[in-house]
Amino acid sequence: MSQLLSLARAAQLVGVPRGVLQKMVLTGELAAFDGKIDVDELRRAFPAAVIDDAGAFEKVTQIRETAFGRRVRERTLPSQEVLAQRLFAQGQELADLRRLAQAYHALVVEAQSRIAQLAAADRRWVDVMDMLEQGLKRVLGAEPAGTLDAMVNVLQLISAQVTVLPSGRQFLVEGNDSILQAGLKAGMRFAYGCGTGTCGLCKARVVSGEVRPIQHSDYPLSEAEKQQGYVLLCTQTAVTDVAVETLEARGPADIPAQDLVATVRAIEPLAPDTRLLHLQTPRSNRLRFLAGQSVTLGVAGEHGDVQQVAPLASCPCDERNLHFHIARDDDAPLAQALFAGGIRTGMPVSVRGPSGDFVLDAESARPLVLVACDTGFAPIKSLLEHAMAGEQVEAFDLYWLATRTDGHYLANQCRAWAAAFDNFSHRLLTDGSPAAGAWQVVEAVVASRRELAQCDVFVAGPAEFVQPAVQGLQGAGALPGRTHALVL
């Protein structure tokens, strides 16, 4: 009997983004039943999906990790306890199937015996006996379970699926990740604060399935909450496939203002006049933000405090490590301090925010047209990484205009994305004038023949670039309600 898989499981099995399967279902290329896909239907659509392909999928996953700028960590199996529980559950399921098969076998044998008795007295029952025997030969002679069937069972051992209610969104928990960690990596917008079981902001109700604590919690859940199935997502991992009930942030209004102190983890030159400022928050006080948002950075200096509003260049899925692309700017005191050596590794930096509505539509799977000028690439990068992690967006088109001598300081990043994602394309353009370059970008977008009315458009850069770019893109068909602009 064939199995029905969720989109998340099916995508993991054949090594494609979930958005690809969603599009195939919408266009009728892939049949779905109540939101699930039959293994046989998956085999028909992906006939070349065999175990050897898992290596290619793992390679893409690794490229994703490095392309996101996160530390590459070895994919580990779940803990021995979790693995044992999953094996036990699978053993129970196998035992139930064996008992069912034995019952069916006994019923068939009894039916054969009874029909044989009837056939001895009435020759018309001979045809019934022949039909039963031929049917049994056909069923018992069928091909054994294929590669996909075997892989389904393996994947159920090494990862568990989480369904979020009431949204219905799904993601997988791999290795020793908590449900919160896995959800953030998959682009979920969960409420959270400390990530260490102290604040209680990630409290959610387990509707079905089994979870297991993986770290101590100081937050006191009441007995009534425990009886109702409430847990802290940051302290629990999924043992079996589970459904949890919790609210997700839909937009900037759902993200509270925060004030914390981070530490300078690293300062790296991206180009002669561009620096990567890497801050790390305390484990007990992480920054919750949406991709594309900005924060106010503050540093205490010898001649007074300096501040600067800066867009985040990192993905919310790694909320402790905050990246910023800081350009040399004589009019920005914090940038001056950074390039003058006034900001050093290990120094405290205040972080206030987040702010801004330059964010993705959480419900949209529409293609993204992302347009950046110079360090406007920073918030665009954040949007890209978050959308890629969510595996929901249909396609990504990036246009990056360079007007400074630093050029496209992360061109290798763009090439890594292009190698890892079939649905990602990029154009790197150069012009000495932001205004003139804006029209060059518009011409490139129009030449791509992308239907802008069906896309979400994001434009980031200096005012002299953003204004003509937005005007030109809307003139080419982009809808005002789906066009987002950020002036740096």
pLDDT, tens only, 354-364: 999 999 998 88
Tell me the sheet residues that pair with 427.
399
According to DSSP, residue 295 is labeled E
Query: What's the whole-number mean pLDDT along residues 193-205?
Result: 90
Joined together, the tokens standing for residue 81 give: 């306890």
Range of lowest pLDDT (77-91, 104-118, 129-143, 409-423): 77-91
Tell me which amino acid residue 54 is.
A
Neighbouring CB atoms inside 10 A of 261's CB total 13
Q: Is the pLDDT of residue 52 over 60?
A: no
Query: What's the whole-number mean pLDDT along residues 369-397?
Result: 94
- Looking at residue 68, its pLDDT comes to 45
Residues 6+ apart with CB under 8 A from 65: 72, 73
Q: In what order do the strands lie in the sheet with 159-165?
A: 170-174, 159-165, 242-245, 203-208, 230-232
Joined together, the tokens standing for residue 159 give: 């990862």
Q: Among candidates 320, 330, 324, which has minimal Cα distance to 311?
A: 324
Q: Among candidates 190, 149, 170, 317, which has minimal Cα distance to 241?
A: 170
Q: What is the pLDDT of residues 20-37, one digit of tens each?
A: 787 787 777 888 877 788
73 or 488: which carries more pLDDT confidence? 488
Tell me which amino acid residue 383 is.
L
Q: Is the pLDDT of residue 148 over 60?
A: no
- Looking at residue 327, its pLDDT comes to 97
Joined together, the tokens standing for residue 284 give: 């007990």
Query: What's the whole-number mean pLDDT along residues 431-435?
Result: 96
Return d(Cα 277, Cα 264) in angstroms, integer.
7
Q: Among candidates 220, 225, 111, 211, which has minimal Cα distance to 161?
A: 211
Kindly write down the DSSP assignment for every residue of 346-397, as one continuous string.
Answer: T-EEEEEEEE------TT----EEEEEEGGGHHHHHHHHHHHHHHT--S-EE
Tell me which amino acid residue 156 is.
Q
Tell me which amino acid residue 367 is.
P
17 or 415: which carries more pLDDT confidence? 415
